[in-house]
């Protein structure tokens, strides 16, 4: 019986953005079965011990908006002129923002959670880092179903572009993946960085039209909102799918460009420190 021979060659040590992208594509393609198995394992374990089981993934996003909706109903929170029922405005905004934060946390956590596999197997680190993304794709599908139910309850007829809603979320997922890889690269060495970054995004949410129409009279704040690419990655999917308003398309395309650059930069950072990352685990 023929034996397979593995040949190891010295790395020249020169990593570029393009070579990092090529390595990432090759590693993900080779480890696709492993990613799928990890997805099934993590998804089943995540909901197995909860009282509401798989129903929790539907109930959770509804509960997350209850506080903001109550403040708006009592007049404490003034969302501004939004053009559609506030519950829809709020649900879409928090769902998109939640996708951003959850993706970053998931990727960073996957590296730490799969530390044993990284040290004991030859599995590509990026495959283990991205293994949890399948759960997020499923979450997007469930959130879309919940959105359909809210449309029925609110008796609101969206624009025909609502069919594109899941696709319009791809840029925010791409950007979050890049940011998650950056956090994973730094977080293994300084684990408090992730906590600091998530806290920073909690502040950034209030400079993004997530829970209200972020139009400020203060010129500085208004400029920050206008230049913030997340403004368009959150607002454009909501306005196009619900109202058919495509006025923010230029900002959305700019946000897509930022998302792609963020992913490329995240992959480069990850491959730059991946060997040292394993040493630190």
If one compares 214 and 182, the residue with the highest pLDDT of the two is: 182
pLDDT score at 274: 74
Q: Are 93 and 80 in contact (CB under 8 A)?
A: no
Whole-model pTM: value is: 0.82
Q: What is the pLDDT of residue 12?
A: 46
Q: How many angstroms separate the CA atoms of 154 and 174, rounded?
A: 31
Q: Is 13 helix (H, G, I), strand (E, B) or coil?
A: coil
Q: Considering only 9-13, 119-123, 139-143, 168-172, which range has the smallest mean pLDDT?
A: 9-13
Span 44-71, pLDDT tens digits: 666 555 555 556 666 777 777 777 777 7
pLDDT digits (tens, 9 = 90+) for 263-272: 999 999 888 8
Q: Judge whether residue 250 has pLDDT over 90.
A: yes
Mean model confidence pLDDT for the chain: 80
Question: In this predicted structure, what is the pLDDT of residue 49?
Answer: 54
What does 81-130 look like in DSSP terms, one character per residue? Answer: --SS-HHHHHHHHHHHHHHHHHHHHHHHHHHHHTHHHHHHS---HHHHHT
């Amino acid at each position: 019986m023929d034996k397979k021979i593995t040949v190891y060659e010295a790395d020249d040590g020169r990593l570029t953005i393009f070579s990092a992208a090529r390595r990432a594509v090759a590693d993900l393609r080779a480890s696709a079965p492993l990613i799928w198995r990890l997805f099934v394992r993590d998804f089943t374990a995540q909901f197995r011990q909860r009282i509401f089981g798989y129903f929790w993934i539907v109930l959770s996003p509804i509960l997350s908006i209850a506080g903001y909706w109550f403040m708006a109903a009592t007049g404490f929170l003034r969302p501004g002129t939004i053009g559609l029922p506030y519950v829809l405005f709020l649900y879409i905004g928090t769902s998109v923002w939640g996708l951003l934060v959850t993706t970053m946390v998931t990727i960073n956590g996957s590296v730490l959670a799969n530390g044993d596999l990284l040290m004991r197997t030859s599995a590509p680190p990026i495959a283990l880092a991205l293994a949890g993304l399948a759960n997020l794709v499923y979450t997007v599908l469930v959130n879309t179903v919940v959105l359909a139910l809210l449309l029925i309850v609110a008796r609101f007829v969206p624009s025909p572009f609502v069919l594109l809603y899941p696709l319009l979320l791809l840029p925010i997922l791409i950007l979050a993946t890049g940011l998650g890889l950056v956090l994973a690269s730094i977080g293994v060495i300084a684990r408090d960085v992730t906590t600091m970054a998530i806290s920073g995004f909690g502040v950034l949410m209030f400079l993004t039209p997530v829970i209200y129409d972020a139009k400020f009279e203060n010129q500085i704040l208004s400029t920050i909102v206008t230049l913030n690419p997340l403004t368009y990655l959150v607002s454009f999917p909501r306005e196009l799918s619900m109202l058919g308003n495509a006025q923010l398309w230029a900002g959305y395309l700019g946000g897509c460009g930022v998302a792609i650059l963020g992913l490329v930069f995240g992959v480069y950072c990850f491959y730059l420190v991946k060997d040292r990352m394993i040493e630190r685990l």
